Amino acid sequence: MHNKLNNLQALRAFAALNVVLFHIIGISKSYGFGVVGLKIFDGWGFNGVDIFFVLSGFIMVYIQRNKKISPAIFFIDRLTRIAPLYWLLTATVLALTYSFPSIFRSDFSDIQMHSLASIFFMSQLFLGKMPVLFDGWTLEYEILFYASITIGLFFHKKNLTYLFVMLLISFLMIFDLIQTVAFEFLLGIFLGNIYLNIENNKKIQLASLVVGLTWFISTLIVFRLESQIFTQRVIMYGLPSFLIIYGLLGINQIQRGVLTKLGDASYSIYLLQVFTIPAFYKLIKVIKVFDGVPHDFLAILCLISTAIGGYLMYELVEKHLTKWTRIIYFRFFWKI
């Protein structure tokens, strides 16, 4: 991402860590290490997904602002950004499932069909259940979004591209083929066009940030959801995410540092949590070293461990895997 958008990289870090904390609170309880002080965040952190979806819509508009790109190149660029690491970790889950069936608590009946649907990002559409790597459900929405843009690019004019995407996703939502959370991609597209095509007022953007943050934080205390209701989360989290992102674009951008580096690694952090959180709690339950340690401290330690592990995976695996995949495809398969 362009350096001037460092604030958005920091927001990516927050979004990823918020989702991780959401899962830590739920999983820690199942292992007998339920949190106390952090219980205020119970059920709240899944809003990191809403931030990611609005960001994704914005970024897709932003990266195409000064260039024309062919539909095929766009889709391959997006697929090679998401798929390699996801497929690698999905394969890891499958290998562990076959080797140690009791290690995961998920239902892996009909594993062959489930695996195939997961690999092709269609587990929810065809099977009505989460993919093998459960947090990959968001990636199935991302791929749908990218596919809609890919088709829209055949219209050549950007306005027609985005109009097609908005109509297609709206159609799928109206006929209940996808959840209304997909509307947040459209919020991002709208935001991108506002930011790039009108004169932005810094005071308005600052006000947008203040209102967005107040709205977002208020959901922690006042407007809590008892469950992940997709029709409500667009209002609860999608709209304030829109305001926060617009505001962050209008204030001074932070310098490169820990937050931006965690933002770079947000995808790895998000995916790796499937392994790190259960492994962390299985380990401390076995070794007994942390008996008597406050559960909130353990939860924070698990969060930090996942962040560090995700960053290491980004540096050692994700970056290289993405690079190699793109080199292999464009050097060999693109010529066929």
* Alpha carbon 300 to its chain's center: 21
Report the distance separating Cα 31 and Cα 52, nearest Å.
29
pLDDT, residue 69, reads: 86
Amino acid letter, residue 216: F
- Listed by start position, the domains of the chain span 3-335
Let me know: does 139 contact 130? Beta carbons within 8 Å: no
Are 40 and 220 spatial neighbours (Cβ–Cβ below 8 Å)?
yes
pTM equals: 0.93
- CA 61, 67, 71, 77 dihedral sign is negative
The single residue listed with the structure tokens 């062919």 is: 70
Q: Are 301 and 21 in contact (CB under 8 A)?
A: no
- Residues 83, 140 contacting (CB under 8 angstroms): no
Mean pLDDT per block of 10 residues along the chain (336 residues) reads 78 98 95 93 92 98 86 92 96 85 62 90 90 95 97 92 96 92 97 94 97 94 60 89 97 95 98 96 89 94 98 97 88 61
| First CA to last CA distance, the chain | 31
**Encoded amino acid at 133, one letter:** L
Chain centroid offset of residue 129 CA: 18
DSSP assignment of 141-181, as one string?
HHHHHHHHHHHHGGG-SHHHHHHHHHHHHHHHHHTTSS-GG
